[in-house]
Every structure is written in structure tokens, then in C-alpha cells.
Amino acid sequence: MPIPEANLYPPFNIVRLSHVEYRVTDLAASRAFYVDTLGLQVTDEDDTAIYLRAMEERGHHCIALVKADAASVGCLGFKVYDEAELDKAAAWFDGQGLGVEWVERPFIGRCFRTRDPYGIPLEFYCRMDRLPPIHQQYKLYRGVKPLRIDHFNMFSSDVDASVAFYNSIGFRVTEYTEDAETGRCWAAWMHRKGGVHDVAFTNGTGPRLHHTAFWVPTPLNIIDLLDLMATTGYVGNIERGPGRHGISNAFFLYIRDPDGHRIEIYCSDYMTVDPDLEPIKWDLKDPQRQTLWGSPAPRSWFEEGSVFEGAELVESALKAQPIIAP
Amino acid sequence: MPIPEANLYPPFNIVRLSHVEYRVTDLAASRAFYVDTLGLQVTDEDDTAIYLRAMEERGHHCIALVKADAASVGCLGFKVYDEAELDKAAAWFDGQGLGVEWVERPFIGRCFRTRDPYGIPLEFYCRMDRLPPIHQQYKLYRGVKPLRIDHFNMFSSDVDASVAFYNSIGFRVTEYTEDAETGRCWAAWMHRKGGVHDVAFTNGTGPRLHHTAFWVPTPLNIIDLLDLMATTGYVGNIERGPGRHGISNAFFLYIRDPDGHRIEIYCSDYMTVDPDLEPIKWDLKDPQRQTLWGSPAPRSWFEEGSVFEGAELVESALKAQPIIAP
Amino acid sequence: MPIPEANLYPPFNIVRLSHVEYRVTDLAASRAFYVDTLGLQVTDEDDTAIYLRAMEERGHHCIALVKADAASVGCLGFKVYDEAELDKAAAWFDGQGLGVEWVERPFIGRCFRTRDPYGIPLEFYCRMDRLPPIHQQYKLYRGVKPLRIDHFNMFSSDVDASVAFYNSIGFRVTEYTEDAETGRCWAAWMHRKGGVHDVAFTNGTGPRLHHTAFWVPTPLNIIDLLDLMATTGYVGNIERGPGRHGISNAFFLYIRDPDGHRIEIYCSDYMTVDPDLEPIKWDLKDPQRQTLWGSPAPRSWFEEGSVFEGAELVESALKAQPIIAP
Amino acid sequence: MPIPEANLYPPFNIVRLSHVEYRVTDLAASRAFYVDTLGLQVTDEDDTAIYLRAMEERGHHCIALVKADAASVGCLGFKVYDEAELDKAAAWFDGQGLGVEWVERPFIGRCFRTRDPYGIPLEFYCRMDRLPPIHQQYKLYRGVKPLRIDHFNMFSSDVDASVAFYNSIGFRVTEYTEDAETGRCWAAWMHRKGGVHDVAFTNGTGPRLHHTAFWVPTPLNIIDLLDLMATTGYVGNIERGPGRHGISNAFFLYIRDPDGHRIEIYCSDYMTVDPDLEPIKWDLKDPQRQTLWGSPAPRSWFEEGSVFEGAELVESALKAQPIIAP
């Protein structure tokens, strides 16, 4: 199935990905990881939840860590352009029969909850509490100096279908991997905010969240984080990298939080605001799409992910990718 | 005059700044500067003009160097969303009495020429020739490794008026400097594409182009360029920096081309796609807005700029800013 | 006067510069500067003194901050190869009539105090308390991530004479500035430990300490320090830089401590261990020797320095260098 | 066997490692690798040999590439302090019965050839042709911007014996790996010039050259090289890294030349000039000694090396280290 044509006139205007709710089993352990090690800033916390933002963000939070009995992902949040677009979005999801529930969320204005056709829990809103800028309070920078949330990456049991759905609500494919044998899309990167992606989908048992990514200033910040993690008891949480992705051209590192949720640290993709930007196609057989420099990813990276609250897992019909690392 | 409210529903959709036409007196000297020293890529050239793109750009060019008897700026180019928006833009400028002339431009589709109310020559189009990606052809990277054109900065004799005009066509103020004594806006940074600015205006004899800026990966690329220029006969072309702007938080360097056109090399501003992003206000008396680290800019930086072809210069009524550098 | 031939067989073996005693008027203010801002590690402290080391050093301290009524420099310390070399050094200084006083110094073994012929107080020892390595305890890295003390730079009223003296005890000239009009040496950089310098001398009212320098990993650490100082109340303590010296090729920053003692932050000189390394000569009229990129140093940088305890100041007979910055 | 005490008064004074002669089967292919890709500078070349130096070196060459029918290492070169030390060195090797042959070497003055007790061919000299500095000719910098040769690393079938021998001629152990089960030294790093090592030895079939290392300014230069190699046909020549060694704290990359000779690109070790520097001991069972960040090295890195001309291979009696990578 070929990549769909970019949908330049979507039914409502999503500005960007906004936040993720991670359900975690030990708030103190999560705080040590996200705050003391990665360097995210606490914007609110109590016995049941911790809210975090990155250094250049003015919205209240990009991660909500919520105490739970088992690790999972509560929802993925997206910001729409204004109240009118929010209402259009609600009407659209309702019209698709996907269900719309208006919910109360701390620090967020009007907000509705729905799911994509494959069960991923989604939230849409247009106003979140705004906080004063801290990006020039350099004494607050710690860890990897995270600047902003960048994207979500998900396992999908039918990437062609996921791409078609997110394309229909205005996400545009910037790069994708095609399985030449079947003509199917193996993986795709889709954006709203002008970088390589706000969301990406990879073939696998889904829906699951593969990772949430944060943008940092330079590769040296990633090296600093590796040195810090390697000498503060987190060496086992380093999963893959550092390296350069062929796809997106990003310099990357993948790490796992204390519950196994995967975080990507990331810099150096490119601007994609041109409506006529041509998607870049990669062949599933080209190992440099994964790692430009050639070193393979570990098996865990291909196989493990975080489950979404209330979503039923479906295996992909496509055969697994050959894994060449241990 | 307070900064106008962001115009979230402009009359047409500008995607981003696109290109500048520099009229230069010696194409070979300009080529040595832009190509051999900065590292821009030639996409077309003949005896009368050289077309250049930066490493991640797929549009045909971001700079057109055109042979002329005297240095000036031919026009500033902007890309709009699609053909319909292009027609809306033409109708709007025509309705404002600013004049619309449909012109033939090499490598560009339908394109019209107009001026802003203060005489700056502008071009709008939606399709430019697209070129294959080269951002992963690392052997081509040279000089400062320029990734993309970032913004235009202009002298205006009435910044309040310039801001009002560009706000009316959808540019949003992200940061601005207010003269507390008069309540007037001294300078403003306005964006379309999601960074701190596509265009900026500073008080002074105008209209003149203060500089065109290019985005580079890290501050180390700027240091590399300084070392290169300092040892290849360009030490006199280094005007200001390196430093950190308070405004925009950018790490910057200002250099002058062989005709005196000013180029800023720039990295590390922040994402501004939120429609409710609050503009940051700076006081004209705060020297850290200019240079966070405190070192002053030279007089030339405050006073010199490139004239626009056919635009009449007007002095600003506001008194000159105190200059503290030599 | 030409630079003396390198003295490859000196009377005793100095390993490297070791430490400086800064007399400071407010220990708490000095601690905020050196520890909280620069990132040096406290190895001992009480009401009268604070001892500091940099991240890769295993000797007990490279700076002793000693409470005093007025700011000055107590002494410059040097490490010799072994006890036998220490005795040879003492005998040599005694033989020169410069005075030798065996002194008790905290954390240091046998140690004698003397002065150079121009009054600079010097200490020599071979054993200082050794501390466990901390260079891989990355959670301790802060501020500019100082790795090691690198050199002392001093004003001398007769640079030719200073060079001759330090050459006689084995320091080798790596680079120097000659005043072509007089044939005199204006400034010289001299090493023992294999970099561009352990000590340097510049023409001026002397003896005074111009600065003590610390080595850091990359230019980005210097940019981090600038951002931190600029936003934590230290913007006025930033004196010069960042920039590249022509001489030594170092990327540099000069800052002032709360008492005005000058600290250079420094990276990227080169290895000088070859006994036949040819000194590099610079012309006093070449401004790129000071700043490869062309921007001038401020007047304070040329004129101000820290006095040495008990040393009498002498003006230089050479005329002052033309200063081109404010 | 414990690490021997540092020999602070060796029989002659070696300044540093100096150069390696690589025998290569295709000079043009080697030139493309070392010159066009790594960025070493050609100082002489003809149909039979190419001589190369790094950017801050003033000696004529650090690598001689010599055309041969099969790949091997001709010799490892070392610079001694002066002619007297050269004669002392010759007398010492002769006295050990290791053989001394005075040889003619292009661009090198008096020079003798010998072997260490395990067959490694060594050359000693004190004067090599000196070339003008090029470290500030920034237009010449290419590839990884190699600054200087840093060290040789060799397989030894008896590391304890190799350490004892090189210790006897003044190389000092800075870090080492002990096999706790046998008490034997598994690997050792030994220096003359003031960094972590000029030579290192690792248990394995020997003598073979594991790699020659080059020093570069920052980790970003290594990332640049990876990007370049990955997109110019050299992705298969990338063997291991980038990463941080626990031992030496170096940021590293290992690549293979067209004949399989291994080159390490390296930055950020530490200064070791203190005669009382305490060696750092690592346990063979600690995987972080190899890679601080935890990712394993490939099997080839543990097993493959370059043979020395005329040296007989001996297997180590120590059992092979468990390899955990593919």
C-alpha cells in the first residue's frame, strides 16, 4: 500500500503532541530518574502524581507520572489550535464512532478523551496552564538539559492502517520504511509541528508505546547523560546508543525508566514545514535506516514496549524483522 | 503602543521566509565567501547569478546572488501554503493598494511582487523547484555547515507600524524590546514557521536589511567558522560575536560578506508553535537583551545595513540607542 | 634580546605548576564563585581557609583560598620530581642568594619558600597529600567542569629578565611576542609539563599575577559557564571572551573572582614535549596574536592584576601597548 | 604478579611514541582512508610510500604507509631526548642482547633498530625533520581533525612480562586490569609523555598491534567522522563505538583501514606527569572498564590485530576473556 498523499486540509488543526501520562509503580524512583538524572523540572507533585516540564516549555507539563499498581501508559495528549478546533475535533471523533468523553484534567482546560481505532487512548485540549519561561535560568539546567518533548513512537499491528488514520487528521509522513517484498509500510514518521515527527509507528504487536522522545541541545549533552547514568547506578537502564538514525538523521540515545518505559534523547532532525515536502522512503533491508553508522540495536529495543491502559494487544501479520544484535 | 494581540486568523497562510536576492558587485568574491567559506551549496550559476541552498533545504535556493553595479537587496521571498493562499495574498496586497505584479522568477512557479507599506520589496510564491535531499551527504558539509535559512532582520523607522503590518498578515511577536520612556516598541521578533522569528524589526533609518540568518547545528560550528575566517583573509569580515543573545536565547555570530551584506550564524532558539505563546518583553535599558554575557556590540552593528532596491530611506523619530562599544 | 636557547639540562627537575594561594576578603563569596559557579571541589575548609581541587587532580589542592584583610597572592606553588630534586632546588635558590625558608604547609610534605629575583613568592615541594580519583564521578561535575590547573600568567617589568631566569631553571619558551622596534621580548609562554605553558610573562608593572588558568574539556563548557554567570549575578565578572588566542591556539574566557583575581578558563592548546620544539614568534603589531578572531580585549585586561604578598612593584621601561578596546 | 613499582630513573630518556610504519597493499586506497577521510596531512609521497602527520605535529611524520605485498607493521618508532640518550638506549638494548642495528630512515637522523624481547620491532631516534606549524591553518582541517598520534596498543601473550620490560625502560603504568582469579595482569596502560599511555598491552596471541590511536579535539569530531564514513562507503570499516572507556576515561571510536589495521580515534584522557601518580586498578570482571556505558565490543575487536614484520606469534596461556557481543 503506498503512503497516502499528504492531507493538507484536515478536519481540525492539531498544533503538536503535548504530554504523556506514565503510570509508574514507585514515584520516588521515577522522580530520581526523570528529575535528578534527566533534568526535567517538577511543576507540581503530591503523593499520587508528579508533573514535569522541559526547559523551554511554558505549558504546565509534558509528562504526568501517576502512581499505579502496574506500569502502563494512561494516555497521549495533543494540543489543538483553539476552542473551535477542539469542538471540531470532538465532533469528528464522535462522528467516527470512536467515543468522546469530556474529562477533568489537572492544569488543563476543556479536554476530551477518545481512542484511535486501534485502542490508543488520546486526549485533546487547547489550553493548559501556562508557566513563566525558565529557559534562561541556567542554574536550573541538569542532566541531559531536556528542552522539549519531541514525539511519541508506537508499535502498530497494521502500520498502513495507522498511517491512514493519522494522515486523515492531518499528520504528514516525512519518512517511511517500506517492506519491498510485500509493498507494505513497515514504519512511518508523521509530523504536525514542523520537525520529522510528532508520532511514529513501527510494525509489531500493538498498540504499545515504544518511546517518548525529548529534544536536547547537542550530542554532547547526550554524552554527559551517558557518563552520569553509567556512574550513578543506571548503567543497566542504557539500552541503545548513542548513534545516528538514518531515518530522521537524529543523534539518539534510548534509555529505560525504572518501570521500563523507554525514553529517547534526541537532537538534530530537520525542518518540515513545507507543505510540498517529499517523504523520504527507506528500504526495510537497508540497515543504515536504523543506524547510519551500522551498529545494531539490541533485541529488547525491537520487542519491548509499554502497554496502553485498556488497549487490547494484536499481533502483526507481518513477519518479524531480522534482528542482528544480541 | 502595546504589542498587538496575535492575529491567529490571518487573511492568507504564509509558511515561512524563503529566500533573499542579494545584488553583489563581484560574483567570484561572493562565491568564495558564501560557498567556500560558509559552505552553502551551489544549485545553479552563470555569469549573472549564483543560486545557493543550505544543507537541509530542498527548495532550489535560499540566496540568489545577482551581479549588479552596486550592492543592494533585490527582494525578500516568502513561501505560502498553496495556490489558493497565493491568490488570496495577491488579492489582499492589491486591496491594500500596495501593488501586485506577477513576475517570472527562475526556478519558481507563479510568483508576485509587491512591497510592504515602508517600501520593502517582497515576493510570494507557493512552489519552487524541489531538489533531492543532501543532508546526509556528509562529504558535502563545509565551513559552518549551514542547515537552513532562519530569518530576516530589518531596520524600520517606525517599528510599531512595521509590527502592526506584519501582524496583520499573520506574523506573531515572540519577543520585543520596549522603550519604557516612550512606551514605543524598539524592536520585535515575529515568526510564522515555529521558531523565534522569520522576520524582525529594529528601530533605525529604514527600510534596510540588517541581516539574513542561517541556522547551524551547534556553537562549535560557529567556532570552526571563526577559526577558518580568521586564517583565510576574512578576519576583517567578523563583526560581532560569538555570543548569546538575551532575546531569542540564540548563540550568534555576525559576519559581513564582501559587499558588506550582514549574515548572522545562529543556533539554539526555541519552539514557538503554541498559539497562546506569551511574547517576552525586554527593557531597552537592559543590556543583557542584546548580549546575555555583557560584551557590547560594535557601532557598525547598530548603524550599518543593506538598502533595498527602490526603497526610500526614512530616519526614525526615536532617539538613537546609547552605544557602549567602540 | 633574542629568546634564550632552551635549557635542556636544568639544575633541578620541576614537574609542573601546582597551586596558588589566593588571599581573599570574604570566604563565603569566594566559595560561591569557585565552588558553586566554577565547579571546583572542596577538599578541606575551616573559618580561615578553603582548599580546592579540579576534577582530574589527585593532589590535595590547586587553590588555597585564605581569609585576609586585603586581596593578594600569597605564593605560587611548584611540584618537583622527588626529594633529591627538592634538595637540589633549595641549594640552587640558596646559591643564588634568593633565600630559602623551609615552611610547614597544610597537606604538603617538605616544602621551602623563596622568591624569584623580581619578588614573586614561590614554593617548592615534591609530595602533597594524594586523594582518590573523582574524574569518573560524573555527578560531581558542575559549572565549567574544571579538569586541572593549567598555568600562571604574570606581569613583569622586564620580560627578557624573567624569561632568562625561568629558562635557567628549565622552563622552555614555546611562544613569544617580540617588540620589533626594540628587539625586546614583550611576552613569553614557558612550559615544564608538556603544554604551551606552566608560566607566562607579559610586559607591565610587576610583579603581579595576571591570571591563573584552568583546563576544561571543550568550548561548550565555557559557553555553559557564560550562560550560568550571566544569569546568576556574575555578568559583571565576565571580563573578556570567549575567543581564540593566536598565541597558544587556546579557546579562552577571562573572569574575575569577587576580589578581582582573574581566572582564565581554557582549552585546546597543544603538546610540547619534544625537546627540539621550535618556539613560535609573534610580532607585537599583530593583533591576531591576542585574539585570532580580531575582537579587542578591554582595558582592564591589559592593566589590572593581583599583587603578590611582600613584592615591590616596578614599572616597565617599555612603552605601553596600544589598546584598541574600551 | 603485582604491577611493578614505577621506574623513576630509567636507563635512558624516551620522550614519547613517535611513528608507526604500516605496510599496506594499495597505497591509493590507504591514501583515501588516511588523508581524504581521517584528514591526516601528506608530508611526502612517491610510488612506494606516503608519509603523514597530524595537525599539531611538527615532526615529519607519525605514519609511514609503505607499499607491500601483504599487510603488516614494519616497526614502532620512539623519540628519545637527545643524542646522548640515543647512545645510552643503543648501549642498553645491546647489553640486553636484543640486537641493535643502525639504520637509514628517510627524514630521520641517527636511528637504530631493535626488538623487544617478544619480537616487536622498535626504532629509536632523537631528531626527525621538523616542519613548520600548520595547526592554525584551519582550511587544512578535514575529516576527524586529527591533532596528534597518541599511543600504540598491542596484544601480548604475557602481559606481566611486557609490563616488566617496558617499565624497565621508563614507561609507567597508569591503569591496569587484573585477573582476580590468577592475580595476573590482563592489560596495562603505560606512559612517557604525560597522558594515560604511549603504549598499552592486552592479553592475547602476540605480539600483534591492536591499534594506533589519534587524539582529536572533541567528541563531536568523532561524530563527524562517523557520519562521513557512514555515507562514503566506509560503514563496514566502523568497528566499535563511539563510547567511553572506563579505563583512561577516553571517548573512543575504533575503525579499520583498508588493510584491516585498526585505528582508534580518541579524546579526553587526563594528565599523568606526577611521578607519584597512583595506578588505577580494574577488575577483569568489571565490564565498565571496557565501556563505561555498558555496550559490548564486537568479537573482532577482541581477536583481530596486525602482525609485526618478522615477529613470531605466541598464544597466551591465560584463558580468553568472555565475549558478550556478537
Is it the case that residue B323 has pLDDT exceeding 60?
no
Task: Answer whether D235 touches B (CB < 8 Å).
Answer: no
Q: Mark which residues 110-149 of A lie under 8 Å from B by CB.
A: 127, 130, 133, 135-136, 147-148
Interatomic CA distance for residues A34 and A143, integer angstroms: 9
| Residue B219: C-alpha distances to residues A51, A57, A146, C3 (Å) | 32, 22, 17, 38
DSSP-derived pairing of the beta strands C72-80 and C101-102: unpaired
The closest alpha carbon to C36, from C140, C156, C149, C187, belongs to C140
- What CATH code is carried by the domain that includes residue B68? 3.10.180.10
Task: Answer whether B56 touches D (CB < 8 Å).
Answer: no
Rounded to 10 degrees, the C-alpha dihedral C225/C231/C237/C238 comes to 50
- The parts of chain D modelled with pLDDT lower than 50 are 325-326
Interatomic CA distance for residues D216 and D55, integer angstroms: 10
At which residue does the C-alpha cell 563510547 appear? Answer: D243
Three-class SS of residue A299?
helix
Q: What is the pLDDT, as a whole number, of residue A319?
A: 75
Spatial CB neighbours of C251, under 8 Å, sequence gap ≥ 6: B223, C219, C222, C242, C243, C244, C266, C267, C268
Q: What is the CB neighbour count within 10 angstroms for residue C286?
A: 12
pLDDT tens column, A83-132: 999 999 999 999 999 999 999 999 999 999 999 999 999 999 999 999 99
Cis peptide bond upstream of A117, omega within 30:
no
- Which chain D residues are closer than 8 Å to B227 by Cβ? 136, 138
Contact A182, A22 (CB under 8 A): no
Instruction: Indicate the residue among D103, D129, D155 that finishes a domain.
Output: D129
Is it the case that residue C323 has pLDDT exceeding 60?
no
Contact C135, D249 (CB under 8 A): yes
Nearest CA in chain C to A220: C220
At which residue does the C-alpha cell 534527566 appear? Answer: A38
- Which chain D residues are closer than 8 Å to C16 by Cβ? 273-274
DSSP one-letter string for C14-78: EEEEEEEEEEES-HHHHHIIIIIIS-PEEEEE-SSEEEEE-TT--BS-SEEEEE-SS-EEEEEEE
Of A137, A139, A228, the CB nearest to C139: A228
Interatomic CA distance for residues D200 and D188, integer angstroms: 6
pLDDT tens column, C182-229: 899 999 999 999 999 999 999 999 999 999 999 999 999 999 999 999
Three-class SS of residue C257?
coil
pLDDT tens column, B179-196: 988 999 999 999 999 999
pLDDT tens column, A186-216: 999 999 999 999 999 999 999 999 999 999 9
Is it the case that residue C258 has pLDDT exceeding 70?
yes
Interatomic CA distance for residues D58 and D60, integer angstroms: 6
Is D138 domain-assigned?
no
How far the first Cα of chain B sits from its last, in Å, is: 32
Contact D203, D321 (CB under 8 A): yes
The closest alpha carbon to B191, from B206, B201, B204, belongs to B201
DSSP-derived pairing of the beta strands A184-191 and A172-179: antiparallel
Interatomic CA distance for residues D150 and D265, integer angstroms: 9
Nearest CA in chain B to D226: B138
Based on the fold, state whether residues A118 and A220 are members of the same structural domain.
no
Query: Is D138–B220 a contact, with Cβ atoms under 8 angstroms apart?
Result: no
Task: Answer whether A19 touches B (CB < 8 Å).
Answer: no
Contact B202, B153 (CB under 8 A): yes
3-state secondary structure C129-155: CECCCCCCCHHHCCCCCCCEEEEEEEE
Query: Is B220–D224 a contact, with Cβ atoms under 8 angstroms apart?
Result: no
Is A202 domain-assigned?
yes
Query: Range of A254's domain?
Result: 144-307
Provide ipTM, 2 decimals: 0.96
The closest alpha carbon to D260, from D38, D26, D39, D53, belongs to D26
Three-class SS of residue D244?
strand
Based on the fold, state whether residues B244 and B184 are members of the same structural domain.
yes
Q: What is the pLDDT, as a whole number, of residue C1?
A: 65
Question: In the structure grid, which three cell numbers stand for residue D173, read together?
Answer: 603504568
Question: In the structure grid, which three cell numbers stand for residue A96, read together?
Answer: 467516527
The residue type at C61: H
**Partners of chain B (3+ Cβ pairs below 8 A):** A, C, D
Residue ranges of alpha helices (H) inside chain B are 27-31, 83-95, 159-168, 219-230, 299-303
Task: Answer whether D109 touches C (CB < 8 Å).
Answer: no
Is A274 domain-assigned?
yes
Task: Answer whether D261 touches C (CB < 8 Å).
Answer: no
Is it the case that residue A324 has pLDDT exceeding 80?
no
Question: In the structure grid, which three cell numbers stand for residue C45, read together?
Answer: 575548609
Is A210 domain-assigned?
yes
Contact C254, D61 (CB under 8 A): no
Interatomic CA distance for residues A19 and A79, integer angstroms: 9
Q: What is the pLDDT, as a whole number, of residue D326?
A: 40
Distance to chain C for B92, nearest Cα, Å: 44
CA-CA-CA-CA torsion sign (A264, A265, A268, A273): positive
3-state secondary structure B248-261: HHCEEEEEECCCCC
Distance to chain A for B15, nearest Cα, Å: 7
Q: What is the pLDDT, as a whole number, of residue D317?
A: 85
Computed over every residue of chain A, the mean pLDDT equals: 96
Instruction: Indicate the residue among C88, C104, C129 that finishes a domain.
Output: C129
Based on the fold, state whether residues A297 and A233 are members of the same structural domain.
yes
Of C136, C138, C231, the CB nearest to A138: C231
DSSP-derived pairing of the beta strands A41-45 and A49-53: antiparallel
Q: What is the pLDDT, as a whole number, of residue A279?
A: 97
Does an H or E element contain C249, and which?
none
Is A312 domain-assigned?
no
Pairs of CB atoms within 8 A across C/D = 74
Which residue would you say has higher pLDDT here, D303 or C325?
D303
Interatomic CA distance for residues A211 and C205, integer angstroms: 62
Based on the fold, state whether residues D176 and D256 are members of the same structural domain.
yes
Selected residue of A227, A255, A295 to mutate for chain D interface (largest D Cβ count, 10 A): A295
DSSP state of C265: E
Distance to chain A for C273, nearest Cα, Å: 30
Query: Would you put residue B17 in left (φ > 0), alpha (ψ -120 to 50) or beta?
Result: beta
Confidence band (pLDDT; 50, 70, 90) for B1? low
Based on the fold, state whether residues D172 and D287 are members of the same structural domain.
yes
The angle that helices C219-230 and B219-230 make with each other, rounded to 10 degrees, is 110
Interatomic CA distance for residues A34 and A65, integer angstroms: 10
Confidence band (pLDDT; 50, 70, 90) for A321? low
pLDDT tens column, B206-238: 999 999 999 999 999 999 999 999 999 999 999
Of A82, A130, A193, the CB nearest to B194: A193
Based on the fold, state whether residues D181 and D277 are members of the same structural domain.
yes
Buried b (16+ CB within 10 A) or exposed e, C35-54: bebbbbbebeeeeebbbbbb
Question: In the structure grid, which three cell numbers stand for residue C294, read together?
Answer: 580580531
Is C325 domain-assigned?
no
Based on the fold, state whether residues C174 and C300 are members of the same structural domain.
yes
Based on the fold, state whether residues A219 and A111 are members of the same structural domain.
no
The closest alpha carbon to C42, from C68, C63, C22, belongs to C63
At which residue does the C-alpha cell 608560566 appear? Answer: C199
| Residue C217: C-alpha distances to residues C199, C222, D311 (Å) | 21, 9, 40
Query: Would you put residue B294 in left (φ > 0), alpha (ψ -120 to 50) or beta?
Result: left
Interatomic CA distance for residues B84 and B124, integer angstroms: 12
Q: How many residues does chain C have?
A: 326
Q: What is the pLDDT, as a whole number, of residue C326?
A: 40
Q: What is the CB neighbour count within 10 angstroms for residue A278?
A: 14
Distance to chain D for B268, nearest Cα, Å: 17
Which residue would you say has higher pLDDT here, A296 or B153?
B153
Based on the fold, state whether residues A54 and A23 are members of the same structural domain.
yes
Query: Is D220–B220 a contact, with Cβ atoms under 8 angstroms apart?
Result: yes
Three-class SS of residue C313?
coil
Query: Would you put residue B145 in left (φ > 0), alpha (ψ -120 to 50) or beta?
Result: left
Of B138, B218, B227, the CB nearest to D231: B138
DSSP one-letter string for D194-232: SSS-SEEEEESSBSEEEEEEEE-S-HHHHHHHHHHHHTT
Stretch A287-298: mean pLDDT, rounded? 89
Based on the fold, state whether residues A174 and A216 are members of the same structural domain.
yes
Task: Answer whether D228 touches B (CB < 8 Å).
Answer: yes
Instruction: Indicate the residue among C105, C129, C153 that finishes a domain.
Output: C129
Is it the case that residue A323 has pLDDT exceeding 80?
no
Based on the fold, state whether residues D102 and D163 are members of the same structural domain.
no
Based on the fold, state whether residues A273 and A162 are members of the same structural domain.
yes
pLDDT tens column, B78-101: 999 999 999 999 999 999 999 999
Q: What is the CB neighbour count within 10 angstroms for residue A310?
A: 12
Does an H or E element contain C316, and which?
none
Is A325 domain-assigned?
no
Contact C286, B233 (CB under 8 A): no
Is it the case that residue A54 has pLDDT exceeding 60?
yes
Number of structural domains in chain B: 2
Q: What is the pLDDT, as a whole number, of residue A325?
A: 45
**Partners of chain A (3+ Cβ pairs below 8 A):** B, C, D
At which residue does the C-alpha cell 567511553 appear? Answer: D244
pLDDT tens column, C70-97: 999 999 999 999 999 999 999 999 999 9
Rounded to 10 degrees, the C-alpha dihedral B282/B285/B286/B291 comes to 100
Of B56, B127, B275, the CB nearest to A276: B127
DSSP one-letter string for B101-147: EE---TTB-SEEEEE-TT--EEEEES-B-B----TT-GGG--TT---
Contact C126, C83 (CB under 8 A): yes
Interatomic CA distance for residues C228 and C238, integer angstroms: 11
Is B315 domain-assigned?
no
Q: What is the pLDDT, as a whole number, of residue B325?
A: 45
Selected residue of D226, D268, D290 to mutate for chain A interface (largest A Cβ count, 10 A): D226
